[in-house]
Homo-oligomer: A and B are copies of this chain.
Amino acid sequence: MKISKVTIKDVAREAGVSISTVSNALNGVDVLHPDTKEHVLKVAKRLNYIPNLNGKNLKSSATKVIGLFITSLKGPYYDQLVDAISKECEKFGYELNIFITKNDRTALSNILGKRVDGAIISNEFIDEMDVLALEKAEIPIVFIDRERVSKTSASVVFDSYKGGQDVARYLINLGHKNIGYIRGYDHLYDDIERYAGFRATLEEAGIGFNEENLLVGYFEEDASFSAVKAFVKSGKELPDAIVAANDLSAIGCIKALKSEGILVPKDISIISFDNIDLSEYFSPPLTTVNNPIIRLGKLTVESLLGIIQGKTEGKLEKLQGSLVVRDSCSLNKNVLIR
């Protein structure tokens, strides 16, 4: 049934040489007579020989592949991130291998199971203990969802805390005092940091936060839509402004408001994070904190390759964003009147 696969042995037999010679010819170890090398290569090609990677990686454990372990690829944020990472890997001659997984075991088993030379991890489900195991095994890793540094593991993150501060300050400067917040997932680095920065800044400014105005949108458009819709329907007093944990949430939020006849930014200001492409041509164009996703992706790969090649040790890099002002926020009406 199963067609017998052509192995290095077959090539050796067909070419009339030993398997070591074939291996050397194929891997460019410059020790062979040019004629034999050429001959072997020709035979290998004729037989359509393709090396078994399991055999190969079993012996010489450099796979030349880096693994990206991520919980989801959905949405424009990951689009950009993955694209940047992929391009950068290609540039350096590494293969990228993406694993979508919420299950930390598949990550562990693929990383420690030596299918990759190094890993990029954006997977909050890998818990502290497993991270420790990875560090102990001294496998090159870059985290983009947590701050974690060792000799062989680095972190590249967006300075979300600073982002949270920025949006809070911006809204405060516009005269807003009653500010709501739509969180994403409260176990995610970016969500935690953004919210923390926001709250801290409010506190510094002596402005209170009404816990009733804290919604949850799971970084998604639909969930945010529902949450906001429900809030409005409940008849509670609307805040002057709302911070959304990411642009997608802001979009869901604005759509919900719109469906209830509430206008942005006239009746309420909305501000968010990421600056995805869509935020520019959504109506209204979103005021948002630019997240340098592409640079983050590039740096991640560079950092990882540095560790893999033994050139650098793990370190923490925190990338700064900047506020992109568009049309979704306006001065507080009360301030205007005053």
Taking the complex as formed, is A14 at the interface, i.e. its CB lies under 8 A from any CB of chain B? Answer: no
In the assembled complex, how far is the CB of residue A22 from the closest CB belonging to chain B, in whole angstroms?
A: 16
Contacts of A74 in B (CB 8 A): 79, 83
Smallest Cβ distance from A51 to chain B, in angstroms? 6
Q: Which of B73, B101, B137, B138 contacts A79 (CB 8 A)?
A: B73
Which of B2, B55, B58, B95 touches A52 (beta carbons < 8 Å)? B58
Identify A51's interface contact among B56, B82, B113, B136, CB under 8 A: B113
- Looking at A100, A110, A138, the one whose CB has the most chain B CB atoms below 10 A away is A100
In Å, the complex CA distance between A255 and B74 comes to 25
Q: Which of B48, B82, B108 contacts A73 (CB 8 A)?
A: B82
Distance, CA A61 to CA B53, complexed state (A): 11
Inter-subunit contact B51/A109 (CB<8 Å): yes
| Chain A 70-83 interface mask (CB, 8 Å, partner B; 1/0) | 00111100010011
**Residues of chain B contacted by A138 (CB below 8 angstroms):** 1-3
Within 8 A of B (CB), among A170-204: none
Q: How far is the CA of A115 from the CA of B255 in the complex (A)?
A: 45
| CB of A50 closer than 8 Å to a CB of B | yes
- Complex formed: what's the CA distance from A107 to B278 in Å? 32
Of the residues B2, B3, B99, B281, contact of A97 by C-beta under 8 Å: B99
A210 contacts the other chain (Cβ, under 8 Å)? no
Contact bitstring A98-129, B, C-beta under 8 A = 1, else 0: 11110000101110111100000000000000
Residue A54, interface by CB 8 Å: yes
Cβ–Cβ contact B113 & A53, under 8 A: yes
Contact A100 B98 (CB under 8 A): yes
Residues of B within 8 A of A83 (CB): 72-74
Q: How many copies, total?
A: 2
- Chain B residue with minimal CB distance to A101? B95
Chain A positions 1 through 42: 1 when the CB is less than 8 Å from some CB of chain B, otherwise 0: 111010000000000000000000000000000000000000
Chain B residue contacts of A114, Cβ below 8 A = 5, 52-54
Contact check, A133 vs B79: say whether CB atoms are below 8 A apart.
no
A56 contacts across to B, CB distance below 8 A = 113
Chain B residues, CB < 8 A from A255: 281
Instruction: Give min CB distance, A147 to chain B, whole Å.
Output: 23
- Chain B residues contacting A73 (CB-CB under 8 Å) are 73, 79, 82-83, 86
User: Can you list 8 residue pairs at the A/B interface with Cβ under 8 Å?
Assistant: A50-B109, A50-B112, A53-B109, A54-B57, A74-B83, A82-B100, A86-B100, A97-B98
Interfacial residues, chain A to chain B (CB-CB below 8 A): 1-3, 5, 48, 50-58, 61, 72-75, 79, 82-83, 86, 95-101, 106, 108-110, 112-115, 133, 136-138, 255, 278, 281, 283
Closest 5 CB pairs of A and B: A53-B113, A98-B98, A54-B58, A50-B112, A54-B57
**Other A-B pairs beyond A1-B138, A50-B113, A95-B99, 18, CB < 8 Å:** A3-B136, A5-B137, A48-B133, A50-B108, A50-B109, A50-B112, A51-B113, A52-B113, A52-B114, A53-B54, A54-B58, A54-B61, A54-B113, A75-B79, A96-B100, A97-B99, A278-B278, A283-B283
